Chain A
Amino acid sequence: NAGVMQNPRHLVRRRGQEARLRCSPMKGHSHVYWYRQLPEEGLKFMVYLQKENIIDESGMPKERFSAEFPKEGPSILRIQQVVRGDSAAYFCASSPPTGADEQFFGPGTRLTVL
């Protein structure tokens, strides 16, 4: 049973470009969460999605950031017109639909904005 998969593992973008980060949850998991981790800091919640629904996006910046979890395929975190301050590690986590408390984290995507 494969764990949470994220790709790419490393992403380099120039200022103003778009970044697309992908997350495939564990098999059977229908809840996906995105977190951002700045260097030497803890993880900060960004958004919680279920299939085709955004449940809580209270941690998402109001502009340039969006997330989706379509019926088919991975969840996508999209950052438009990236700036240097977007450089961070972005982690995806998933949990089953039964309301279990444990979230399983992926290895993360490290975004560097030049």
Chain B
Amino acid sequence: QQQVKQSPQSLIVQKGGIPIINCAYENTAFDYFPWYQQFPGKGPALLIAIRPDVSEKKEGRFTISFNKSAKQFSLHIMDSQPGDSATYFCAVLSGGYQKVTFGTGTKLQVIP
């Protein structure tokens, strides 16, 4: 079964726009929600992460919004730049050890 559902599959925005990527999960045991950024030919890199005790976290131009009751979380990229063009994966982890379950990915293109 798919434990994390991610949407949209692809996204095109103009420079300066605010792309939003959404993820929904089912298992309430998950307690760590990271977002990874992956450029072509590279491994994923941790971008930002949140725990369920807060509803929002900002780091630079990246913001995670978390809705525990709805079991959803989203990534917002403020003032997007062409260099943000990459594939973004949400993920979930549960305590004990750190097996990461990834979403299916969103391919973002920021056009100048």
Rounded to whole Å, the gap between the CB of A78 and the closest CB of chain B is 20
Let me know if A43 and B98 touch, CB within 8 A: no
Among B6, B42, B44, B89, the one with the most A-chain Cβ atoms within 10 Å of its Cβ is B44
> A105 — which chain B residues lie within 8 A by C-beta?
36, 43-45
A-B contact count (CB 8 A): 62
Q: Which residue of chain A lies nearest to B96 when distances are taken between CB atoms in the complex?
A: A99
Q: Which of B42, B89, B99 contacts A107 (CB 8 A)?
A: B42
How many of chain A's residues have a CB under 8 angstroms from any CB in B? Answer: 26
Let me know if B34 and A101 touch, CB within 8 A: yes
Known: A43-B89, A101-B34. A56 touches B97 (CB 8 A): yes
Among A43, A45, A95, A100, the one with the most B-chain Cβ atoms within 10 Å of its Cβ is A43
Which residues of B line the A interface, CB within 8 A?
A: 6, 32, 34, 36, 41-46, 49, 89, 93, 97-105
